[in-house]
Amino acid sequence: MKYQSQRVAYWYFLAAMTLFGIQVLGGLLAGWVYVSPNFLAEILPFNVIRMIHTNSLIVWLLLGFFGAAYYLVPEEAEREVFSVKLAYLQLIILLVGTLGAVGSYLVGIHGGREFLEQPLWVKFGILVAAVIFLVNISLTVLAGRKTAITNILLMGLWLLCLLWVFAFINPDNLSLDKMYWWMVVHLWVEATWELVMAAILGYLMLKLTGVDREVVEKWLYVIVATALFSGILGTGHHFYWIGTPGYWQWIGSIFSTFEVIPFFAMMSFAFVMVWKGRKNHPNKAALLWSLGASTVAFFGAGVWGFLHTLHGVNFYTHGTQITAAHGHLAFYGAYVALNLAMFSYAMPVLRERAPYNQVLNMASFWLMTGGMAFMTFVLTFAGTIQTHMQRIVGEYYMVVQDQLGLFYLMRFGAGAAVVLGALLFIYSQFVVRREVVKPGPVAVPGE
Ligand code: HEM
Ligand code: HEM
Ligand SMILES: [Fe+2]
């Protein structure tokens, strides 16, 4: 660790990994309800489990991003974080808000807008934490060296915090309500978070492959430009059926098709950097997660996103298991795996453990990624059948659901593999010992 204040990141990562465990366990529970519908129905209804699953996902990913910023900004800016105290205060506010949200869901209090169900006071807490973060990290960057990585990271984080304001706007008109809602949900994952992803990926590539900074920066500019160009008007792919004018069908279809480009560019970027890089960094696990993240993001967001983004297709697939298949693989590849890449890179440094044994970490990559891939295939098959029977044949929703039991059982199996992988990952970060470096053959003089 070069800068003392980077240590703050450790506590963000720790909190993030705890919530990650809760998130996947919540998913598994929700998956079991699909197999056995009355399971826990009285004490912990499905909608509450689902809220805990999706909200903890978003919160831990954000904690991971904040932690990543506190870790990499000092190195890039070549100075300590402006205020370590503020960074801890921000973390405490976020954790109190999280507990408050979960507590209120458990007693049935929630706002009822998917992903934005938090009670109003929690939303304000998040706003305060976001402001603290922006001030803290911006003052750090402004006082130090400015790099493309920190500029893009900051731009992404500023915009995503600003978009949070739309979470407070909830008009009575249902179409407007949905429009504002998507301005948070879509403009996060398909615009601002992409900038954060590009910046973190750029930092990891710089460290892991030893490629020149100028090369990394050129790629980053292309990724950021294509992400914003496509992602902003791409929001239109959520405006097809919410009561907005018909031209959104064309705007959404055309611009969201371009959204594939930045994800393709990020995947190409990662592989080209590894190919061109001269450095043989010992942290192979972080490299595996980085390459895995950009590849799975391309498939989950790019390929599975394009699958249902044209309005002629979406007319049939809207809100089916196809959507869930895409949502899972896209979130996993782009943001879960990317965060785990950052943890894999930073944790051994923060815990002064390098070089450490990476076998379990890499095994967890294959277990989790294999599980998510299988879950995606299963849900895609289920969604195809659902689309056909419900939207083309015209059977009732529940009649169709009854036919899909086998798929939901398989989804549960895939989910169990993901949970095992996640627990293995957490274990590998905390419990694993240092690698025993075997002494090499000793050169005998004169030989
Ligand atoms: C890191 C891995 C995971 C991520 C990123 C993730 C993400 C998500 C997202 C974004 C949603 C909302 C989907 C939508 O609205 O289309 C969701 C719902 C759900 N997830 Fe996960 N999830 C993960 C792991 C799991 C696991 C391990 C299971 C276990 C089977 C699971 C089961 C579910 C279920 C049952 C729902 C509710 C679907 C519905 O309402 O029909 N998830 N998850
Ligand atoms: C990492 C980036 C992405 C993430 C995390 C993500 C995640 C999600 C999630 C969770 C949903 C379900 C939302 C809901 O209805 O509650 C969704 C819907 C959708 N996504 Fe993405 N997505 C990403 C990128 C993309 C891209 C690049 C495309 C197009 C090429 C796309 C196309 C769509 C479409 C068309 C829907 C609406 C599905 C429906 O009508 O039910 N997504 N996405
Ligand atoms: Fe979208």
Q: Tell me which ligand sits closest to the C-alpha of residue 375.
A: 1
Question: In this structure, what token pair is assigned to residue 231?
Answer: 């992602």
Q: Is the CB of 332 under 6 A from ligand 1?
A: yes
CA neighbor of 166 nearest in space, from 149, 194, 148, 185: 185
Residue 442 has pLDDT above 80, yes or no: no
Q: Is the CB of 53 under 6 A from ligand 1?
A: yes
Ordered domains of the chain (ranges, CATH): 4-430 (1.20.210.10)
**C-alpha span between 235 and 179 (Å, rounded):** 9
pLDDT in tens, 388-403: 999 999 999 999 999 9
Q: Using the 8-state DSSP alphabet, how is residue 54 labeled?
A: H
Residue 165 has pLDDT above 70, yes or no: yes
Do the Cβ atoms of 98 and 51 come closer than 8 Å?
Answer: no
How far out from the chain centre does Cα 135 lie?
A: 24
CA nearest ligand 2 atom 7, residue: 327
pLDDT in tens, 197-246: 999 999 999 999 999 999 999 999 999 999 999 999 999 999 999 999 99
337 CB burial (10 A radius; 0-12, 13-18, 19+):
buried
In testing the pocket of ligand 1, which one of 53, 193, 331 has its CB within 8 Å of the most ligand atoms? 53
What pLDDT does residue 357 have? 81
Strands (E) in 361-426, as ranges, are none
Predicted TM-score (pTM) of this structure = 0.96
Average pLDDT in the chain:
94
Q: Is the CB of 51 under 6 A from ligand 1?
A: no
Q: How remote is the CA of residue 418 from the centroid of ligand 2, in Å?
A: 21
Residue 38 has pLDDT above 80, yes or no: yes
What pLDDT does residue 111 have? 87
**C-alpha span between 100 and 121 (Å, rounded):** 9
User: What's the alpha-carbon Rg for the chain, to the nearest Å?
Assistant: 22
Q: For tokens 């919160």, what's the residue?
A: 59
pLDDT band for 355, please (50, 70, 90 cuts). low
Do the Cβ atoms of 347 and 13 come closer than 8 Å?
Answer: yes
**C-alpha span between 308 and 315 (Å, rounded):** 9
Q: How remote is the CA of residue 412 from the centroid of ligand 2, in Å?
A: 22
Question: In this structure, what token pair is assigned to residue 34?
Answer: 């699909």
442 CB burial (10 A radius; 0-12, 13-18, 19+):
exposed
Question: In this structure, what token pair is assigned to residue 273?
Answer: 């950097």
Which amino acid makes up residue 420?
L
What's the chain's length in residues? 447
Q: Using the 8-state DSSP alphabet, how is residue 438 labeled?
A: P
